[in-house]
């Protein structure tokens, strides 16, 4: 008993040490520094694109054309999908993005009963959105199979699928949900297939080639159709409408930058199916970067001269940019989580009923799928860094709150009674006794949150937040393992660095008395 009392006295002395308090305050102030936002941001037009090659190319073509004419433009490439870009355009986060007439009529404005370009233009105007004239090609949906599999089963058209209910399909996630996708197609043809699942469009090609699926949705200008020797099934009931490529832009752009609108309109009719398929092939099959392919198109077909020049970006320069973006996302969201979670954990430990509510709320937040949470943030905060930071902040709460609560509630009652006997106030007991004794548990929660945060932050690229998720998305799109590793390996190394840093931080944060090793 005497030994335990002596040990506790050591803990109390160390916990009240001014140097220890200074370290804690310094850590909090350092975290606050990460909350300072950038106050100087360049004013430029924002162009978005979806996460498939053709959309990225069209976004890059518009970006380079406007830049060549002296307009400052930022291209936010490979954003998640139609809903993200459409919401971004309406909220003013984007000024321009490429889309397709069929997508707008059948998906975005499905309740408007739009069937012609004139009706589409009128419907868009009610949302403060305008469209440039079509670019000149139709990239419609289609259903495809490997030539060998289609020949083996005698399938030529979509209605032939009625005779083969056991076929497995792997369709893009948007196609699975849209009325102009699988729900509408299966209803129009009364298709019996039930083994269908959502699959990334670029990954579906590999799954089709390996035989994991029997059919997939195609974009008619995909370069992979010819490369893999796919059979495009005839749409014998003419379910799929025309998907004319065009640029959407905010209506106020005509006043803010009429030259940008004129340049978008000048691209009308400049692309046909054969040409855009060749451009897609240059990126997907020949592995030429999107900016270089876009520049070559503009120089050959628009300017007929070497007007657009694109500087080749090195892997190290890209890595530096991704690292800064990723650190910015992680540091701000984690710092906020630390500042909020520790007080919440303290409150949860002090008040049992309120504590159960707090733990329940942060637990429910943690169970929300990360991609869904990112999408939920867009109507509130737009696209880019802010919604990603808020989502990461919310995901970081549970480990820190739970560990703070557990660290305080697990303190032996005799130690707290000893503090009362010494005449310490509630605040002094919390600051000098409870928090130091719980510091190991709290730091473990912060370390867990940091590692989870670093991994989850890669999903921020889907809404334009950048970071290590950007090369991962591009690598998946281009079937390029080296690009995937360009994001995955640094993210893993950053997680290891974070773990080492927090392990080293124990000697500064955890009171010395708690680090005394028992004698043998």
Long-range contacts of residues 365-370, Cβ cutoff 8 Å, at least 24 apart: 365/394, 365/395, 365/397, 365/398, 366/395, 366/397, 366/398, 370/395, 370/456, 370/459
Q: Is the pLDDT of residue 24 over 60?
A: no
Q: Is the pLDDT of residue 349 over 60?
A: yes
Structure tokens at 334: 């984690």
- Contact call for residues 104 and 240 (beta carbons, < 8 A): no
Dist. CA 327–CA 319, nearest whole Å? 12
Dist. CA 8–CA 441, nearest whole Å? 18
Strand partners, 76: 48
| Domain extents in the chain | 2-33+315-515, 45-133+243-303, 141-232
**Across 24-42, average pLDDT:** 41
Structure tokens at 299: 């120089």
**How confident is the model over 125-154, as pLDDT tens digits?**
999 999 999 999 999 999 999 999 999 999
Name the architecture of domain 141-232. Answer: 3-Layer(aba) Sandwich (3.40)
- Contact call for residues 266 and 183 (beta carbons, < 8 A): no
Q: How wide is the angle at C-alpha 271 spanned by C-alphas 270 and 277, nearest 5°? A: 160
Which residues 6+ apart lie within 8 Å of 406 measured at CB?
Answer: 441
| Fold classified for 45-133+243-303 | D-Maltodextrin-Binding Protein; domain 2 (3.40.190)
Which residues 6+ apart lie within 8 Å of 485 measured at CB?
Answer: 475
- Compute how many other C-beta atoms are within 10 angstroms of the C-beta atom of residue 321: 14
**How confident is the model over 177-196, as pLDDT tens digits?**
888 899 999 999 999 999 99
Dist. CA 465–CA 384, nearest whole Å? 4
Is pTM beyond 0.85 here? no
pLDDT at position 314: 82
**How confident is the model over 441-470, as pLDDT tens digits?**
899 999 999 999 999 999 888 888 889 999
Dist. CA 53–CA 177, nearest whole Å? 21
3.90.1150.10, 3.40.50.1100, 1.10.3720.10, 3.40.50.300: CATH of 2-33+315-515: 1.10.3720.10
Q: How high is the mean pLDDT of the chain?
A: 85
229, 223, 202, 227: which is closest to 282 by C-alpha? 223
Is there a shared CATH topology between the 45-133+243-303 domain and the 141-232 domain?
Answer: yes
- Contact call for residues 206 and 263 (beta carbons, < 8 A): no
Dist. CA 488–CA 13, nearest whole Å? 45
């Amino acid at each position: 008993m005497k030994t335990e009392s002596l040990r506790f006295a050591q803990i109390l002395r160390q916990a009240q040490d001014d140097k220890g308090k200074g370290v804690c305050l310094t850590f909090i102030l350092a975290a606050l520094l990460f909350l300072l936002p950038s106050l100087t941001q360049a004013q430029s037009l924002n162009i978005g694109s979806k996460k498939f090659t053709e959309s990225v190319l069209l976004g890059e073509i518009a970006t380079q054309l406007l830049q060549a004419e002296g307009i400052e433009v930022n291209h936010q490439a490979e954003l998640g999908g139609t809903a993200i870009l459409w919401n971004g355009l309406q909220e003013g986060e984007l000024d321009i993005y490429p889309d397709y007439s069929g997508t707008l009529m059948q998906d975005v404005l499905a309740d408007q009963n739009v069937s012609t370009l004139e009706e589409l233009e009128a419907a868009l105007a009610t949302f403060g959105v305008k469209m440039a004239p079509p670019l000149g090609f139709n990239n419609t949906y289609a259903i495809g199979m490997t030539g060998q599999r289609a020949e083996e089963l005698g399938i030529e058209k979509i209605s032939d699928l009625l005779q083969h209910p056991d076929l497995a399909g792997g369709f893009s996630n948007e196609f699975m949900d849209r009325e102009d996708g699988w729900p509408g197609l299966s209803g129009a043809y009364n298709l019996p297939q039930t083994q269908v699942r959502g699959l990334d469009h670029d990954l579906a090609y590999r799954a089709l080639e390996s035989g994991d699926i029997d059919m997939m949705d195609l974009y008619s200008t995909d370069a992979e159709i010819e490369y893999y020797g796919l059979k495009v099934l005839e749409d014998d009931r003419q379910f799929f409408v025309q998907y004319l490529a065009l640029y959407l832009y905010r209506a106020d752009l005509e006043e803010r930058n009429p030259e940008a609108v004129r340049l978008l309109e000048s691209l009308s009719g400049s692309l046909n199916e054969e040409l855009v398929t060749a451009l897609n092939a240059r990126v997907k099959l020949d592995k030429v970067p999107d900016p270089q392919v876009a520049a070559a198109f503009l120089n050959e077909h628009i300017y007929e001269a070497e007007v657009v020049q694109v500087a080749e970006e090195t892997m190290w320069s890209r890595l530096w940019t991704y690292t800064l973006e990723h650190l910015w996302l992680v540091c701000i969201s984690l710092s906020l989580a630390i500042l909020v979670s520790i007080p919440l954990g303290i409150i949860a430990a002090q008040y049992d009923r309120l504590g159960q509510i707090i733990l329940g709320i942060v637990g429910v937040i943690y169970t929300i799928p990360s991609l869904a949470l990112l999408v939920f943030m867009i109507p509130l905060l737009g696209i880019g860094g802010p919604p990603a930071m808020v989502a990461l902040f919310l995901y970081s709460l549970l480990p820190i709150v739970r560990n703070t609560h557990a660290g305080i509630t697990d303190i032996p009652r005799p130690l707290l009674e000893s503090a009362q006997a010494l005449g310490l106030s509630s605040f002094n007991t919390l600051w000098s006794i409870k928090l130091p004794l719980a510091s190991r548990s709290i730091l473990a929660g912060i370390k867990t949150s940091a590692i989870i945060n670093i991994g989850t932050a890669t999903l921020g690229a889907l809404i334009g937040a950048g970071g290590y998720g950007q090369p991962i998305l591009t690598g998946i799109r281009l079937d390029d393992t080296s690009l995937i590793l360009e994001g995955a390996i640094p993210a893993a190394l950053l997680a290891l660095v974070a773990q080492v840093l927090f392990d080293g931080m124990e000697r500064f944060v955890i009171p010395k008395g708690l680090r005394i090793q028992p004698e043998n």
